[in-house]
Amino acid sequence: MSAGLQANPLLRSGELPRFDLFSSDQIVPDVRALLAELGRELDRLESNVSPTWDGLVLPLERMGERLGHAWGLVSHMLAVRNRDALREAHATVQGEVIAFGLRQAQSRAIHEGLLRLRSGPGFTALDATQQRIVECLLRDARHAGVGLEDAKRLRFNAIQTELAELATRFNNHVLDATRQFGLIVRDPAQMAGTPSSLRELAAQNAREHGEAEARAESGPWRLSLDAPVLFPFLEHGEDRALREQLYRASITRASSGELDNTPILEHILSLRQEMARILGFASYAELSLDAKMAPGVAAVDALLERLRQASLPGARQDLEELRGFAAAHGQTEPIALWDVPFWAERLREERFDYSEEALRPYFPLPRVLEGLFVLAKKLFDVEIGAADGETPVWHPDVRFFRVRDASGSPIAAFFLDPYSRPGDKRGGAWMDDCLGRTRRPADGVACNPVAYLVCNQAPPVGGRPSLMAFDEVVTLFHEFGHGLQHMLTRVDHGLASGIRNIEWDAVELPSQFMENWCYHRETLVGLSAHVETGEPLPGAIFEKIARARTYRAGSFMLRQLYFAMLDLALHREPGTDRRERIFEIQRAIAERTTVIPPLSEDRFLCSFGHIFAGGYAAGYYSYKWAEVLSADAFSAFEEAGLENARAIAETGRRFRETVLALGGGTPPMRVFEAFRGRPPTPDALLRHSGLAVAAA
């Protein structure tokens, strides 16, 4: 690395990023300088290919680490501190970053070297992880168009660049549309039924938007499409007209005017299908499945249909119960989509005798984190401690933690960015790779992995810590599960350590596995402490939460199947560049997977970032595919005895040494079978969902 690049801490791969020195002005010159240096390294590698691990794969890994560190930092900041200058810099060099990646992946000299390595006598001397990495590099090269003739390769590369640009614009439009919508409410009657936590947050939002006198008790309040505001209002707001207004705004977000994502998603789908055909696949769905755990589209269809048949009767029954309940409580209009969350919450409160909002005081974030770390110790024998101040962060809300093994040695770390910031932070929750485990070239010492854990829960208001909804607790456990797989890896090869190189439909296994512990009495009660009294969650309330786990399970399952089946349908079309065809497909899938049809103006696809700007294109089914794995994995703990501490610890160590440790270095089916002793079945998922009888 040149002296100039060494002087810039933002481009020091293998080190924690210096967020305090991050500047949008640095991005373009520094990324270009790095690309130039990596280009020269690639030239040298291509001119003298050595078909060995050390001579070929290690140089590729090191180049990937350096570029991944620099561009990953830029992409991370775009997601959590979005600014116009950052957007501009990102857009300026994004195409150049993609072009370098394609040049490397399409290098015929490197491809030939990998083929020679695989067929040569040295391949059998490699360990199983190294052999898998070589095979995956060859597969990725095929998917990158290494064998294409010149004209097709040029077109393929142009598509890749344009798709990346479109995804970035898609995300920016969703963020801007969310940020632009705001509804000032001055009449207290319109806030009837809403919990104090929502009124406090809405008043705080109003103050931030110029209403200096806004108070939680008297208003005014600012309602938005940000999840911590939108969902509580839909569940509790008694003003039906206002619920409808917010619902319609939500499902038409980024679908009109200068922020209209409709032409973008049309073009994305069309380009993906063209790209798949160039590579010799009948559809983008087939291309996507070629690199996943599922053996093919037909296998995914079969699983989704089995789950649809199991969940549809329950969803229909759920709707009839809501209709009857709403009518009995005075609603004379037919139940509409904006009524469902409201009446579902009222019915749940009556049936199980607790309110979701009443749970919030029991789950202040500091206490939840403490309990989560206790669970990690019990299951995986690791200690997690706060390390705030040891390294710079990108926002004052962000915290830093270190992970240590039983001997006290540091083995990993993570950043936690927990709160919603609709002005500059992408919605949703995710885990990402900050630093991966790999061995330093200078001394062979393994670098400790570091993760980003990002949520969008309600921020602290009124001088109190963030009080978490139960769903927010589940989300935190989910992202922490991803983080554990990244941080507790034992793989030393950077191309397959942690979450790297894991098939997309298997990567949700540890995250969804961790969610199950939110329904374990000792765990949930242990991480609770009432913000005012310090009292833990009463056992009686836990029992109600446990019973409510299967409440509307058919409806929730069917909703996820709607998304998954729609995603596959859109990506198996020979061409979807006509707007009317896209929404015809949506309506056709909705007929099979919804019990209340979407509104005619429904454009939720315009904000469906998972498949249009994330990694889930023709892969949203992965949540259900992996949920089969995660439920089956958790059933191993149930069989061991959830109250048997020794058995749980032993099973947890086995889970750590397989699912968490092996990462992308072992095919996921082998990983699962190494833990479970057999292939997975959907029985545990259906049982946990209360749908086993319907599936019989």
Is the CB of residue 509 less than 8 Å from the CB of residue 633? Answer: yes
Is the separation of the CB atoms in 311 and 553 below 8 Å? yes
**Which helix H or strand E contains 463, and what residues bound it?**
none
| 157's tokens | 């590369």
Cα separation, 349 vs 467, whole angstroms: 19
Phi, psi of 506 (to 5 degrees): -110, -15
Eight-state DSSP code of residue 469? P
15 is catalytic: no
Query: Cα-Cα-Cα-Cα dihedral of 624, 626, 631, 637, to 10°?
Result: -170
Label the pairing between strands 450-457 and 183-185: unpaired
The pair of structure tokens assigned to 215 is 């108070």
Q: Look up residue 57 and give its DSSP letter.
A: I
Distance CA 452, CA 499 (A): 12
**C-alpha 132: how far from its chain's center?**
25
Per the CB < 8 A criterion, the answer to whether 607 and 253 are in contact is yes
Taking alpha carbons only, the member of 324, 357, 322 closest to residue 233 is 357
Helices 297-328 and 553-572: angle between axes, nearest 10 degrees: 140
Q: What's the DSSP call for residue 383? A: E
Alpha helices (runs of H) in 527-678, residue ranges in sequence order: 539-548, 553-572, 579-593, 609-612, 622-640, 645-655, 668-676
- The two three-digit tokens of residue 564, written as one number: 């998954």
* Cα 20 to Cα 617: distance, rounded to the nearest angstrom: 35
Q: How many CB atoms lie within 10 A of CB 560?
A: 18
492, two tokens = 């030393």
State the sign of the Cα–Cα–Cα–Cα dihedral 42, 47, 51, 54: negative
Integer Cα distance of 401 and 384 in angstroms = 7
Rounded Cα gap, residues 333 and 356, in angstroms: 26
Distances (CA, A) of 634 to 375, 512, 516, 685: 14, 9, 7, 10
Half-sphere exposure of 156 (CA within 13 A, CB side): 24
Both tokens assigned to 587: 């309506």
Annotated active-site residue in 65, 472, 479, 503: 479
Q: What separation, in Å, do the N-terminal and C-terminal C-alpha atoms of the chain show?
A: 62
And the tokens for 267?
A: 């073009």
One-letter identity of residue 199: R
Q: How many residues does the chain have?
A: 696
Omega before residue 220 within 30° of 0, cis: yes
Amino acid at 138: L
User: Which residues form the catalytic set?
Assistant: 479
